[in-house]
């Protein structure tokens, strides 16, 4: 064999070896890529919502039809927002498809037009708010009451007067309040600003309607105290519960006077992300707790 021939033979062998390796590798790579798909068959419906749906940990398989119907009705919403809104319950009219709320006597309880409290629910460990920060005798769950006093004390030190004018309300009291509003304004109007009994956040002992004592609470938005609350309430664990730009999501008109205790960590997140408690709840409370339970 000449030197040239030997070189050519070497070259040919090398090419054959590389080709063989590639041929052998292709099916291995191909099979690996397909393994998850064959292991877990995805439904056609889930695919219609796109890849994002599969990655969202609060995606509920049994809600797939609801997600698709809501997406069809709201094509401009992202898939993630579709899932958030359906999990909140927004694909149903308010007060329909209601469930009894979970996590009673916790700071992360949700009460709204889809999550209700029993008529006999009274939160445990309520305390009176210091009379220098409240109008009349006002009760809140002890940790919320402490946080509220801390907030009001800090505000006062800076020259702002924050008073709790309505906090815990019993089922019976809410019922008479709501019925009064209905007789005054009719049910449709009353529903925009007053909760039906069993659906009021005030029954949790974690909500406070505030004022500056000089003006009625309905004028709170136009006070310097409101600006202070906008900047500081979250530092004490409180959120503005019914913001101006979230009326559909919360089911309530803008209420600049209504604050809800959720704890500092949650309040800071909601403040920074500008989301509703509804959205926070379906993203971080409901899904996580359900996983823990299952
Ligand atoms: Zn209120």
Give the per-residue pLDDT at 19.
75
Residues 129 and 184 in one domain: yes
Give the per-residue pLDDT at 135.
84
Taking the centre of ligand 1 as the mean of its atom positions, its distance from the CA of residue 83, in whole angstroms, is 28
Taking the centre of ligand 1 as the mean of its atom positions, its distance from the CA of residue 168, in whole angstroms, is 9
Active-site annotation, residues? 255
Residues 131 and 81 in one domain: no
Residues 128 and 217 in one domain: yes
Residues 203 and 244 in one domain: yes
Cβ neighbours, 10 Å, residue 135: 16
Residues 136 and 168 in one domain: yes
Per run of 10 residues, the mean pLDDT along the chain (length 294 residues) is 71 77 64 47 62 80 94 95 97 97 97 98 98 94 98 98 97 98 96 96 98 94 98 98 97 97 98 98 84 42
**DSSP-derived 3-state class of residue 113:** coil
Q: What is the CATH number of the domain that holds 142?
A: 3.30.1380.10
Give the per-residue pLDDT at 136.
87
Domain boundary among 61, 91, 121: 91
Residues 211 and 235 in one domain: yes
Domain boundary among 57, 91, 125: 91
Residues 122 and 71 in one domain: no
Q: Could you list the residue range(s) of the whole structural domain that residue 30 is in?
A: 3-41
Give the per-residue pLDDT at 49.
74
Residues whose Cβ atom is located within 5 A of ion ligand 1 = 209, 258
Residues 226 and 147 in one domain: yes
Residues 147 and 237 in one domain: yes
Give the per-residue pLDDT at 99.
97
Residues 71 and 119 in one domain: no
Contact 185, 136 (CB under 8 A): no
Residues 98 and 167 in one domain: yes
Taking the centre of ligand 1 as the mean of its atom positions, its distance from the CA of residue 201, in whole angstroms, is 7
CA angle 99, 113, 241 (to 5 degrees): 125
Rounded Cα distance, 40 and 33, in Å? 13
**DSSP-derived 3-state class of residue 41:** coil
Q: Between the CA of residue 99 and those of 104, 112, 198, what are the distances in Å?
A: 13, 10, 11
Residues 115 and 31 in one domain: no
Taking the centre of ligand 1 as the mean of its atom positions, its distance from the CA of residue 98, in whole angstroms, is 21
Q: For the chain, how many structural domains are there in total?
A: 3
């Amino acid at each position: 064999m000449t030197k040239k021939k030997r070189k050519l033979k070497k070259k040919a062998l090398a090419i054959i070896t590389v080709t063989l390796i590639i041929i052998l590798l292709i099916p291995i790579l191909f099979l690996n890529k397909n393994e998850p798909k064959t292991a877990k068959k995805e439904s056609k419906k889930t695919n219609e919502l796109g890849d994002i749906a599969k990655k969202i940990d609060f995606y509920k398989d049994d809600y797939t039809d609801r997600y698709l119907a809501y997406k069809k009705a709201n094509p401009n919403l992202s898939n993630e927002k579709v899932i958030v809104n359906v999990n909140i319950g927004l694909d149903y009219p308010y007060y329909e498809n209601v469930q009894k709320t979970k996590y009673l006597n916790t700071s992360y309880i949700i009460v709204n037009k889809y999550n209700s409290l029993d008529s006999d629910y009274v939160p445990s460990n309520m305390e009176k708010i210091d009379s220098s920060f409240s109008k009349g005798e006002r009760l809140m769950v002890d940790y919320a009451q402490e946080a509220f006093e801390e907030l009001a004390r800090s505000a006062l030190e800076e020259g702002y007067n924050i008073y709790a004018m309505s906090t815990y309300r019993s089922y019976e009291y809410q019922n008479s309040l709501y019925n009064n509003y209905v007789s005054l304004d009719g049910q449709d109007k009353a529903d925009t600003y007053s909760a039906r009994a069993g659906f009021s956040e005030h029954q949790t002992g974690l909500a406070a309607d505030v004022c500056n004592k000089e003006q009625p609470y309905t004028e709170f938005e136009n006070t310097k105290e409101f600006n202070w609350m906008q900047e500081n309430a979250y530092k004490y664990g409180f959120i503005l519960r019914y913001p101006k730009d979230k009326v559909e999501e919360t089911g309530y008109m803008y209420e600049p006077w209504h604050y809800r205790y959720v704890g500092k960590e949650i309040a800071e997140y909601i403040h920074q992300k500008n989301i509703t408690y509804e959205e926070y709840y379906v993203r971080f409370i409901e899904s996580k707790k359900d996983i823990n339970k299952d």
